[in-house]
Structure 1
Amino acid sequence: MTHRSNITPPSMDIVVPCYNEKEAFPHCLEVLGSVLCNLMSAKKVSPQSKIIFVDDGSKDNTWLQIKEACSKNGFVSGVKLSRNRGHQNALIAGLSESKSDVVISIDADLQDDVHCIESMLEEYNKGSDIVYGVRNDRSTDSVFKRTTAKMFYSLMENMGVNQVSNHADYRLMSRNAVDCLLNFKEQNMYIRGIVPLLGFTSSKVYYSRDERVAGESKYPIKKMISLAVEGITSLTITPLRMISALGFITCIISIITAIYAIIEKINGSTVEGWTSVMISIIFFGGVQLLCLGVIGEYVGKIYIETKGRPRFFVEEKQGGNDEVK
Structure 2
Amino acid sequence: MPDTGAFVETEDLATLNAVNSAIEEILTEKKWEFDIRTDGQIALRGKLEDLQFTVNIADTSSVALLRSSGLVDADVFGDYVVRLLSSGLTDYANTALRVNSSTIAQTTFSFLTLETVFPDVVSEPCDLHYSEYILPDTVAEVIRATYQEYPLTLNQVDPKVSYSEIFPRPHNEFGPPEVIAVGGFDIPTYDVQSAVPAPGLRMAVWPVPDEDYIVNYSYYYRHAELGATTDVLKGVPQNIVSRIVDMATADMKVFYEKDYEALAIRSSVRRSADEIYKSHGGSRSARKRIGNWDSSSRHNGVQRGFPGKILGS
Give the TM-score, by structure 2 length: 0.24
Pick the structure with more helix per residue.
1
Pick the structure with more strand per residue.
2
